[in-house]
Structure 1
Amino acid sequence: MNFYQPQAFWLLSLLIVPIIIHLFQFRRYKKLLFSNVAFLKKVDEEKKQNRKLKHLLILLSRLLFLTFFIICLAQPFLDREEKFADVSLGIIDNSASNLTIPEGNSNTVLEDHMDIVNKLSERYSDLQIKVIDATGNDVQAFEIPEVNSSLTSFNLKELMSTQKISKQLILFSDFQKNVIDDNMDLLRDTTVDIVLVPVHKEVPKTVVWDSIWIKNQSGLATNDKLMINVYSRSGKLGTDISIIENDQYVGNSAVELNESINSLNFSLPIQSTDLDRSLVLKTDEQSSIYDNEFFISLSQQKALKTLYLFNKNPNDYIKSLFSGNELFDYQQSNIANYSFQALEQYDFLVAELGGTLSSQSLMLLRQFAQQGGTLVLIPSEDFVDLNELEKFGVIDAKRRNIDEKVELSNPDFNNPFFNNVFKNKEELIDMPVAKPLINWRQGNNLLSFKDGSPFLSVVESNIYLFSTELTEAYTDFPKTAIFLPVFYKMAFSNQGESSVHYHYLDEELVDLSYMRISNGVIIKLANNGKALIPDQREKGSGKEIIIPKGELEPGFYNVLNAKTDSIYGHLALNYPKEESKEGFYTIAELNTLFSDQPNVKVINEPGFDKLNEYITESKEGFPLWKYFLILALLSLLAEVLIIRFYK
């Protein structure tokens, strides 16, 4: 035990005062005994012994009071084995999760930690505490560092090595579990003193947006339901989830979230516009800023560019499907006179294969499908070179010699092709009859004859092949109820199962193929008056961009032609999903985790006071004066009790 004010021990000379008082108050007197009270002598002797003991106890309590009080004035302290270093590295975790708000607080974790850093710089000007953020950038006092929206983890050892400070680290963080788990090798290194400054006494209320998609697309370019999978990382959490578009509420649902996935659905009003719809999913939970919103872009179904190449005369049934329909941008042409180099501008192509079709034309049709277009092939009676069908993946195509029409079997409703085609799958369907022209061995039959031979097959993912002409001479298929839904399903089959698009800021590449950006076009991203041109590369007939780390914030970005500023769509960017999925270590859990490591100090109370107390004690030792003051007061209390109750 050491003393800051050892000169106070001169005051111990005052201990003579209570001794003098004791001796003066109880000096001897001459005693005279009278015969009539002699019988009381024995009783008086007993009382005198009691009074003597009482006075001695009073003297002892006074001496103890003065002794303890003087020691208190000398400011005793115990030296600590661990010392707070004069040179330290402070690291502020500026990942998005530090925008949570600790319980009973109005500031975010990041703001509270920066407040501690500011007070440290004011209180300990003699210490060299270098403060950086989790990306290695210097943090200046009284300037809150910017949140790195794409940051989900960081390496403490690397950050310390870049600053050439290897002995003491002060970590200001919300202590998501990956922060500790990813850096356990450093935290277990007993040569490094580490001070952890946490904030959470309880697990913060965070929301995880798991997945969003459109359910029950009808094939008619309408969106029935927006489905949302969401859950909570903090147990039960009652909240409202809303959908907002252009600052207007589209839908709202009250829900109690838990750690298992909750599925919600919202009906969306249909809008007749070619532009993407930008929707914000929002929870009313206010304890976190970084995960209570989620941005999605909903692609509106554009008119499908459709081309019908007929052999001799256009089929009125096929023409009626597409012409005069706002869902389709429809063109038709005689296949014998068409310039096949113009196919790339179309999305959906129905081609009747005639006898005059050249091998080169068939190759260009094949190339159209390879570039992502949907191709429907219908053989005409005069199409004789069946070997050419091998270009489309058709194996062993042969002509069939059947003079009578044969009934088709009912569809296999388990085939994904028929999802959302028929509302009532148990309803009996009047199946068409047909006289097949050709047969083949390979393909996924969508509609078959009773003998199992194909009427309509998917020979490749986006190539469909009929086995006969769709004329009255060969089939009544165009007059049946399944004609329109089957053709519409083929037309929209390559447009994707879901038109919901969203991306995360930690993604390396973002595929923008769904925006149909032509090859060679340079795009830029624009948001709130700011624009940048990201690194980009071609991907087939689409485009991919590289998200610049730490430069973008969550929200909507217009995807523009860098030269003409024409807009292709909206890019919805969100905080990394992993940042929301990670759990948190509370103060109690950190204490348990590092209970056997003297090199790791966990500050047990949020705020500056406890950290300041730890630094003071580390530099100046553990103060004992308060304990001696308590002992002095207890001695004074003992004197009062002795005087009052000792008889």
Structure 2
Amino acid sequence: MFVLIFYFRVLIFKTTMSFLYPTFLFALFAVFIPVIIHLFNFRTHKTVYFSNVQFLKNVKQETKSKSNLKHLLILLMRILAISAIVFAFAQPFIPSGNQKTKPRENKVGIYIDNSFSSEAESKYGKILEIEKKKALEIANAYPEDSKFLFLTNDFKIKHQHLVSKEQFKDFVLETKTSPVFRNTSSLVSKMKTLFTANRKNKYSVYIISDFQKSSSDIEKIKNDSSENIIFVPILAEKTANLFIDSVWFENPYRPINQNDEINVKLINTGDEVYTQMPLKLFINNQLKSTGSFNIEAHSQTLEKINFTNNNTGTVNGRIEISDFPITYDNSFYFNYNLNDTNKILIIRENNTTNKFINSVFLNLNYASLKTVSINDIQNLNFNNYNVIISDGLKQINEKLKENLLNFTHDGGILIVFPVINCNTESYNKFFNEAELNFITGFDTSKIDADRINYNNEILKNVFKKKEQNLDMPVFLKRIIFSDQTNIDEEVLLYSEKNDKLITSGTYGNGKIFTFAQAADETYGNLVYHPLWVSLLYNMAFYNTSGKNIYYTIGTDFVIHVNNKKSASDNIFHILNKDKNIDIIPQFSNTEAYDYRLFINHMIQKAGYYNIVLNNKPVKGISLNYNRRESNLEHYTYKELKNYTSDFSEKNISIMNAEKELSKETVLNQNQGIRLYKLFLLLALLFIALEILLIKLLN
């Protein structure tokens, strides 16, 4: 019996054969019935007399040979007929690809990759149109009562339930390109979730995509015997693309009426070398700077664009290149906020000015200084200032502590200069609540600064290179701080004993810079050192509002908005009047005045947007398309087949979609090559041969 099974599975098909109903194979025991019948011959014998014994001997030998051959041939035909019938009822099929099981025929999930890469051209036309055509061909291969689950990159609510074939076709025809980027594994996982929610345990999933290497994370697809996954690759003819990958500022501060510099990363994924390609910078829709760049094939380059900040308020920037036919990644939007005047409040024990601090800012027409005594701050609104400097205060009382913490949390810059023998208890209450290292003591011995943190954003561009024999500041007396490591604090300047001399910490949306001395010459020569001006200037003009100069469409991000007025009875709007877009985002405020806005894929067009509350703009943001889509390199059909074969434990197969997908092609791909008809024909053939043998041999 097992020899027969092995014969059918290996010798005939030369491949692995599976059965939909393998328990029917137990019926192969029925082949013993004809065997038993042929072992017992119940015919009656008649005595015949012969005069010649030699003639009898010859007749007996000839009759016995023919009878044995006849019985063996008939027995073989009956065994084969029974085996073929049993195999037919067991529903044999040859799986396609890594297919392990045959799922139900009328529960089908179809995904169309409608990301921006589907705008590229395939051998037979635009990829998205071919994908839609193949989706309809697959649907037409299934019975009319089949149920379909349709998905695109948008994960629209209306798509997330089973629909009829006609409604599925309507969904396909209305599909348009989307900026949302999805990984293959997340699509399969989403399909599983939706089928489970619809109480369907066995189903087929067709992934119709260009299978970019940046998104095809097949190794992350989880094994699941209930699903049959079929990849339908529609491949782009050309994968060359030149695009802007990202932009950023090295410095966190934006100088007014001075030279500024923005970095632009460009990537070329094609075979062509580009020279003297135009690169343009627009500020508030006006051309601000033009330049050019060169880039080799299959490489990337970093370009720097210099410009002068003449605008204040929300500054909208855009960088552009020219590249065809893929154009959605030729522009990159960004924005930042720039105050026309940086208002600096200096709080001292008395209202006399500090010449060492004032000398840094006095000659700047975009900086406004105000010095007040600690006794005169009761009527001051700290939110009217961008920077507060605590200069030599003996203590930080409870009211001042609350005001400083609120000011910093809302995005303000605080610079702290403690004094020797200050009230450490009051200072440490402030430092503890700000989650910074606290004061542990004072030291009046002379010590040299020893090490500069060149990687810190305040000092990163102060030095052209790391100096080996730099003349370092000398400290004659200083404050000693604790050495906690589990806090968000960075050291800018270390002493030769590895003590902290200048630190930078984050609190809420703002920054706190702390010195281990007062801004006074009696503490050492730091106030005369070249570092002094760079440190104070860069700290004061640190741009806390410029942490995110852009966001990426299709990703999960949170927009922080500081708003003093309660928004519980009001609604935030995100507007772009040019694109006629007005959405109402979800928001929450877990902390006072800090509102978190969630867009949740509601915006799908790149550009500038204003966040508005009570018809007043509160913040500007910029949105860009996901650059992972810009790398059009994809797996070929052969590469995809080899790639999936590395994960043979997954229930995945590949469908060649170059020709029209007929009903037979689709069902064979989904259900494997069905063999039950073949075995029925073989059963009839063996029965016919048995009848023929009986007649001929008789």
TM category (shorter chain) comes to: 0.5 to 0.7
Question: How far apart in 1 are the matches of 2:124 and 2:525?
Answer: 73
| Equivalent of residue 395 in structure 1, options 439, 453, 456 | 439
Give how far 1:89 is off: 4.3
What does residue 596 of structure 2 align with? 544
CA distance, structure 2, for counterparts of residue 176 and residue 476 of structure 1: 59
The one-letter amino acid of 2:515's match is L
Whether 1:348 and 2:401 are equivalent positions in the alignment is no
2:247 to 212, 229, 246: 212
**2:262 alignment partner AA:** L
Equivalents in 2 of 1:390, 1:558: separation in Å?
42
The aligned counterpart of 2:370 is 331
CA contact (8 A) 2:454 2:466 kept: no
Instruction: Find out whether 1:146 has 2:185 as its counterpart.
Output: no
* CA-CA distance at 1:569 after TM superposition: 1.3
Which residue does 1:529 correspond to in 2? Answer: 580
Equivalent residue for 1:256, pick from 292, 296, 308: 296
2:639 to 589, 601, 615: 589
- 1:268 maps to 2:306: yes
Give secondary structure in 2 for the equivalent of 1:397.
strand
Name 1:75's counterpart in structure 2.
none
- 1:389 aligns to what SS in structure 2? helix
Aligned residue in 2 for 1:488: 537
Distance 1:302 1:182, change over 3 A: farther
Q: Which residue of 2 aligns with 1:99?
A: 118
Question: Which residue identity is paired with 2:176?
Answer: E
Q: Secondary structure at the match of 2:535?
A: helix
> Do the aligned partners of residues 586 and 241 (structure 1) sit closer, same or farther apart at CA in structure 2, a change above 3 Å counting?
farther
Shift of 1:611: 2.4
Question: C-alpha distance in 2, partners of 1:124/1:446?
Answer: 68
Note if contact 1:348-1:375 (Cα within 8 Å) is conserved in structure 2: yes
Mark the CA change 1:182 to 1:96 in structure 2 (over 3 Å): closer, same or farther. farther
Supply the distance in 2 between the matched residues of 1:525 and 1:592 (Cα, whole angstroms).
47
Q: How many Å separate the matches in 2 of 1:411 and 1:602?
A: 62
Return the alpha-carbon distance in structure 1 between the equivalents of residues 405 and 651 of structure 2: 69
Query: Who is 2:210 aligned against?
Result: 174
Distance 1:559 1:132, change over 3 A: same
* Preserved CA contact (<8 Å) 2:383 2:407: no
Distance 1:486 1:292, change over 3 A: closer
1:555 equivalent in alignment to 2:614: no
Letter in 1 for 2:634: F
Measured in 2, the distance between the counterparts of 1:187 and 1:447 equals 56
Pair 1:133 & 2:151 matched? yes
One-letter identity of the residue aligned with 2:413: T
Give the gaps of 5 or more residues in structure 2.
1-92, 96-101, 161-167, 432-436, 484-489, 507-511, 674-698
CA distance in 2, matches of 1:352, 1:485: 18
- Which whole-Å CA distance do the structure 2 matches of 1:379 and 1:617 have between them? 78
After superposition, what is the alpha-carbon deviation per residue over 1:481-509, rounded to whole angstroms, capped at 9, x for unaligned?
4432221133235738x756222233333
Q: What percent of counterpart residues are identical?
A: 17
Segment of structure 1 superposing worse, 526-535 or 423-432:
423-432
- Contact persistence 2:224–2:651 (CA under 8 A): no
Partner of 1:626: none
Structure 1 alignment gaps of length 5 or more: 1-79, 623-647
CA contact (8 A) 2:112 2:135 kept: no
Alignment RMSD? 5.0
TM-score, length-scaled by structure 1: 0.63
Q: Is the partner of 1:588 in helix, strand or coil?
A: helix
Q: Which of 207, 219, 226 is the matching residue for 2:262?
A: 226
Q: Does 1:412 align with 2:449?
A: no
SS at match of 1:390: helix
Query: 1:467 matched to which residue of 2?
Result: 517
Distance change >3 Å, CA 128–CA 209, structure 1 → 2: same
Closer, same or farther: CA 507–613 of 1 in aligned 2, 3 Å: closer
**Counterpart in 1 of 2:502?**
457
Aligned partner letter, 1:485: S
Q: CA offsets per residue over residues 427-486 of structure 1, 9 Å max, x none?
A: 9877777764x543547876688x869895338562423534526x77665555443222
Whether the 8 Å contact between 1:335 and 1:352 is mirrored in structure 2 is no
Maintained 8 Å contact 2:551/2:557: no
Instruction: Report what 1:43 is aligned to.
Output: none
Mapped contact 2:314–2:337 kept (Cα < 8 A):
yes
Aligned partner of 1:149: which letter?
P
Return the TM-score normalized by structure 2. Answer: 0.59
Is this contact kept in 2: 1:275–1:569, CA < 8 A? Answer: no
Aligned to 1:510: 558
Q: Please identify, of 307-316 and 109-118, the stretch whose mean Cα deviation from structure 2 is larger.
A: 109-118
In the alignment, residue 397 of structure 2 is paired with which amino acid?
S
8 Å Cα contact 1:174-1:198 kept in structure 2: yes
Closer, same or farther: CA 257–494 of 1 in aligned 2, 3 Å: same
Aligned equivalent of 1:603, options 638, 651, 656: 656
Does 1:376 pair with 2:427? no
Structure 1 residue 216: Cα displacement: 5.4
Tell me: CA distance 1:94–1:294, structure 2 relative to 1, closer, same or farther (3 Å). Answer: farther
1:141-176 Cα distance to aligned partner (Å, 9 max, x none): 783313443351412445666596966665532234
Residues in 1 aligned to 2:259 and 2:334: alpha-carbon distance in whole angstroms: 15
Separation in 2, partners of 1:158, 1:278: 41
The alpha-carbon distance between structure 1 residues 534 and 374, as it changes in their structure 2 partners (threshold 3 A), is: same
Distance apart, 1:308 and its partner CA: 1.0
Aligned-pair distance for 1:563?
0.8
Picking from 379, 397, 406, the partner of 1:359 is 397
Contact 2:610-2:621 within 8 A present in 1 as well: yes
User: How many corresponding residue pairs?
Assistant: 518
Residue 199 of structure 1 aligns with which residue?
Answer: 234
> Would you say the 8 A contact 1:525–1:558 is kept in 2?
yes
Task: Determine the C-alpha separation between the residues in 1 that align with 2:203 and 2:443.
Answer: 84
C-alpha distance in structure 1 between counterparts of 2:494 and 2:207, whole Å: 68
- Secondary structure (helix, strand or coil) at the match of 2:661 reads helix
State the shift of 1:214 in Å: 1.5
Report the AA paired with residue 273 of structure 1: N
Once the two structures are TM-superposed, the CA of residue 225 in structure 1 deviates from its matched residue by: 3.3
**Matched position secondary structure for 1:440:** strand
Larger Rg: 1
* Residue deviations 1:189-241 (CA, integer Å, cap 9, x gap): 7x95x765432165734568654322356874666432234546x56464557
User: Residues 329 and 556 (structure 1 numbering): CA distance in 2 closer, same or farther, change over 3 Å?
Assistant: farther
2:294 is paired with a residue of what secondary structure?
A: strand
Q: Distance in 2 between matches of 1:434 and 1:361?
A: 32
CA shift for structure 1 position 526:
1.2
The answer as to whether partners of 1:278 and 1:298 remain within 8 angstroms in 2 is yes
Q: 1:309 to 1:102 in 2, by over 3 A?
A: same
Q: 1:160 to 1:287 in 2, by over 3 A?
A: farther
Shift in Å, 1:390: 2.9
